[in-house]
């Protein structure tokens, strides 16, 4: 009976969370605030106007962009680079992205993992993924996905929470992958907004190069095996 009550509580929490996020997104859209998130130049001016609260705003916006997938995180990272430079801009973006990823992971783990365990077809897969060798593989997949810009950061965070991947492994893999990616996007944003053509060229070269890192990691993993 306690187990059934637990499942009902999880379903209630999940439904409440979804309604809350949908309501918040609707409010942002109807109030016109959402348009600020998609325009890096307007976003930069808004952040500059916040003064000392600007860094907290960047962190909060990054968290919201990860937890609420429709909100784009790219313009936020670019605005951070333009407002605070590559070093501090990257720091604020990494803190926000890492926190948002951990929240998404915990939400999926709390609300969806037990449900996945109850399905007879998925239980053997989850048991296999829980083994040490599989844990290392999942960790590598999360790390590699953070280095590829066109792979959804949000989706990977939620999907990882539905697997047996250990929390500390997810934390390390995400942090290791998000730092170089965030730095490149922040630097690109700074160069793009300040119209520095040399900076844009360098940023594009580095961004193109970082997408090759997952292929290198996969090759090293195969050689190790």
Q: How far is the C-alpha of 55 from the C-alpha of 51, rounded, in Å? A: 9
Residue partners of 169: CB distance under 8 A and separation at least 6? 135, 138, 139, 142
- What mean pLDDT is reported for the chain? 78
pLDDT at 91 over 90: yes
* pLDDT recorded at residue 99: 96
Highest mean pLDDT among 84-98, 119-133, 152-166, 195-209: 84-98
Report the predicted TM-score, pTM, of the whole model to 2 decimal places: 0.76
pLDDT at 7 over 50: yes
Alpha-carbon 198 to chain mean position: 29
Q: Classify residue 51 as left (phi > 0), alpha (psi -120 to 50) or beta.
A: left
Tell me the average pLDDT across 65-91. Answer: 88
pLDDT digits (tens, 9 = 90+) for 105-149: 998 888 877 766 666 666 666 665 656 677 888 898 899 888 877
* pLDDT recorded at residue 78: 87
Report residue 184's pLDDT band, with 50, 70 and 90 as the boundaries: confident
Residue partners of 156: CB distance under 8 A and separation at least 6? 142, 145, 146
């Amino acid at each position: 009976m306690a187990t059934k009550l637990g499942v009902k509580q999880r379903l209630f929490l999940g439904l409440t969370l979804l309604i809350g996020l949908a309501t918040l997104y609707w409010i942002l859209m109807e109030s016109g605030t959402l348009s600020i998130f998609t325009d890096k130049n307007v976003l930069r001016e808004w952040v500059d106007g916040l003064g000392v609260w600007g860094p907290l705003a960047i962190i909060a916006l990054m968290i919201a962009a990860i937890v609420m997938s429709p909100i784009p995180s790219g313009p936020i990272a670019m605005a951070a680079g333009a407002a605070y430079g590559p070093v501090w801009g990257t720091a604020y973006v990494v803190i926000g992205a890492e926190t948002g990823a951990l929240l998404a992971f915990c939400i999926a783990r709390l609300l969806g993992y037990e449900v996945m365990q109850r399905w007879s077809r998925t239980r053997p897969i989850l048991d296999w993924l829980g083994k040490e060798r599989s844990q290392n593989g999942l960790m590598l997949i999360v790390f590699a996905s953070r280095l590829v810009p066109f792979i959804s950061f949000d989706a990977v965070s939620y999907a990882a929470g539905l697997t047996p991947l250990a929390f500390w492994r997810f934390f390390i893999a995400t942090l290791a992958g998000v730092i170089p990616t965030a730095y490149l996007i922040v630097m690109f944003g700074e160069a793009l907004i300040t119209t520095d053509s040399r900076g844009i060229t360098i940023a594009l070269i580095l961004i193109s190069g970082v997408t090759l890192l997952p292929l290198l990691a996969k090759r090293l993993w195969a050689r190790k095996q």
